[in-house]
Amino acid sequence: MRGNSFGKLFSLTSFGESHGPAIGVIVDGVPSSLNVSLRDLNKVLSRRAPGKMAGTSTRQEEDLPEILSGVYKNKTLGTPIAVIVRNTNQRSGDYRWAEREFRVGHADKTTLDKYGIRDPRGGGRSSGRETIARVIAGYFASLIIPQIEVAAYLVKVGALSGEDLLHKKRVENYLQGLQKRGESVGGVVAVKIKNVPAGLGEPAFDKLKADLGKAFLSIGGCVAFSFGMGESLANSYGSENAQDRSRFGGIEGGISNGEDIYLEASFKPPSTVGKKAQQGRHDPSIVMRAIPVIESMAKIVLADHFLRQQAYVKERK
């Protein structure tokens, strides 16, 4: 399969382009008879939507999900769940320049190199709008693992960190200043996961840390992933770590140990800068809107490994 699907027992396949008719996802592996709340799904999608904070993209869309299959009378059927969200506020004229130019660090040129054709409108398949599919799948994943709590939060946005990030107005003013200059910045998102059962992860190649890393790095703009103390462990002594399990962020040998899991993901600045950023509806930083996407990808991985562990336990019995 050509890289549009993710997961084994719990899986998603995403489709659609930023300026096409819709973004969609097929979620498979969801057990039957789970309660589905359209209200809760809308809440999750609303967190990802643009235009929620001054200084971010002004593209305004309701992002209303349409469930096409797999749900009946608000219950999952155990069959594939297909959901689409229609694109309703495209401004393709803003991207005429993209037919002739390639943004450095974006998928513009590499997509053309690979397929021989590309959709330049809004980044096409490489747009951040693709993450709608991930957030929808993350909602259904959460139905499988309701006991697991996943919370992502900002660690750094450009020059802002620490207490600065607690003041919404301070962050908005900073982003608006970047927008006016046609500038962009990256940042870091941290994730804390509670109530994870021990035993999730499938060595040697499907270790929990490996699948979480792949999940995060598959998000557009994500350039680095770490768990526990991350790179700082490379500068430590073994004697420092021997008595402190918490340094490994809840994952040992690629398997969850039952403790809280700590993760971090770093994002690069958006590639559209200068006059093009000022003309279109671009985010000066994607870090804030990445939070629900990061949470969703973590839930997808955990739900998949939870089902795999359940199957393994049944086999042992």
Residue 136 · residue 41 · CB < 8 Å: yes
- pLDDT score, position 206: 98
- pLDDT score, position 19: 87
Rounded to whole angstroms, how far apart are CA atoms 42 and 270?
Answer: 26
- pLDDT score, position 280: 59
Residue ranges in the chain whose pLDDT is less than 70: 1, 55, 57-59, 90-95, 97-98, 122, 276-281
DSSP secondary structure code for residue 164 in this structure: G
- pLDDT score, position 103: 80
Average pLDDT score over the chain: 92
Torsion-angle region of 270 (φ positive above 0: left; ψ -120 to 50: alpha; else: beta): beta
Rounded to whole angstroms, how far apart are CA atoms 307 and 34?
Answer: 15
- pLDDT score, position 108: 87
CB-CB neighbours of 280 under 10 Å: 18
CATH number for 207: 3.60.150.10
- pLDDT score, position 139: 99
Domain residues for the domain of 295 are 5-316
Torsion-angle region of 88 (φ positive above 0: left; ψ -120 to 50: alpha; else: beta): alpha
Q: Taking the alpha carbons of 293, 307, 8, 226 in that order, is the dihedral positive or negative?
A: positive
68-97 confidence digits (pLDDT tens): 999 999 999 999 999 999 998 766 566 676
Residue 30 · residue 81 · CB < 8 Å: yes
- pLDDT score, position 105: 82
- pLDDT score, position 1: 46
The number of distinct structural domains making up the chain is 1
Q: For the chain, how many residues are written?
A: 317
Rounded to whole angstroms, how far apart are CA atoms 20 and 120?
Answer: 11
